[in-house]
Amino acid sequence: GIQVEQSPPDLILQEGANSTLRCNFSDSVNNLQWFHQNPWGQLINLFYIPSGTKQNGRLSATTVATERYSSLYISSSQTTDSGVYFCAAVSGNTPLVFGKGTRLSVIA
Amino acid sequence: DTAVSQTPKYLVTQMGNDKSIKCEQNLGHDTMYWYKQDSKKFLKIMFSYNNKELIINETVPNRFSPKSPDKAHLNLHINSLELGDSAVYFCASSRFSYNSPLHFGNGTRLTVT
């Protein structure tokens, strides 16, 4: 099945800094999603982005399917951005496969 | 509120017991899932139902049995609980099968002592 790898595994930022999280996948995908798990454990869907670029406030995501990667850009980070960011992909007719996540800590 | 809701939020029980987790979604979605998140935060699918029919059953011990009385509900029953079953269990739903956004419930933290 498809392999999904995320980097970096851990990231510490000063409030106000920008960051890019990376997601590489081993096969062609027809579905790519980004999720944020907040410190209370809730999993929030950030983007459904099988290709192209989308923006939502300070967050934007880009998927380049031909190069088998997706990236999540966080600008002007805030402490509320802390948590774990997951990338998940579907290849063919299989359910979403999750990466191991990037743990982000934003310090005031 | 439109959402995926699961109960209970916390479940503490002893080895050998049987327990159930309930899940309901009022989003009108056709597909529902159970995911397990282990202590290292890794998320792995357990089951997937489309319109009350089982479409995915990953390598999960048969002590775990999902039941979908209708397309808005997917419950998880676990028999003879073991220490290794301790984890957070997430219910989720999507409008269609795998190629639509996934929406999670808030999770049930199961602790087996």
Q: How far is CA B70 from CA A93, B51, B101, in A?
A: 23, 7, 21
Assigned token pair, B75: 């419950």
Which residues are paired to B89 by β-bridges? B36, B108
Phi, psi of A5 (to 5 degrees): -120, 135
* A33 contacts in chain B (CB < 8 Å): 101-102
Tell me the per-residue pLDDT of A15-28, one tens digit each, with 9 for 90 and over: 999 999 999 999 99
Cβ contact, residue pair A42, B104, below 8 Å: yes
Question: Which domains does chain A show, CATH number per domain?
Answer: 4-107 (2.60.40.10)
Cβ contact, residue pair A86, B43, below 8 Å: yes
The mean pLDDT values, 10 residues at a time, for chain B of 113 residues are 90 98 96 95 92 81 93 96 97 89 97 98
Residue A94 has pLDDT above 90, yes or no: no
**Of the candidate ranges A31-40, A81-90, A91-100, the one whose mean pLDDT is the lowest:** A91-100
Q: Output the pLDDT for position A84.
A: 98
% of chain A surpassing 90 pLDDT: 93
Q: How many CB pairs under 8 A join A and B?
A: 52
Task: Please enumerate, as own/partner, the contacts of B50-54 that have beta carbons within 8 Å and a separation of 24 or more.
Answer: B50/B97
Cβ contact, residue pair B99, A31, below 8 Å: yes
* A50 contacts in chain B (CB < 8 Å): 99
Question: Which domains does chain B show, CATH number per domain?
Answer: 4-112 (2.60.40.10)
- Map tokens 């809730």 to a residue: A42
Tell me the per-residue pLDDT of A46-55, one tens digit each, with 9 for 90 and over: 999 999 999 9
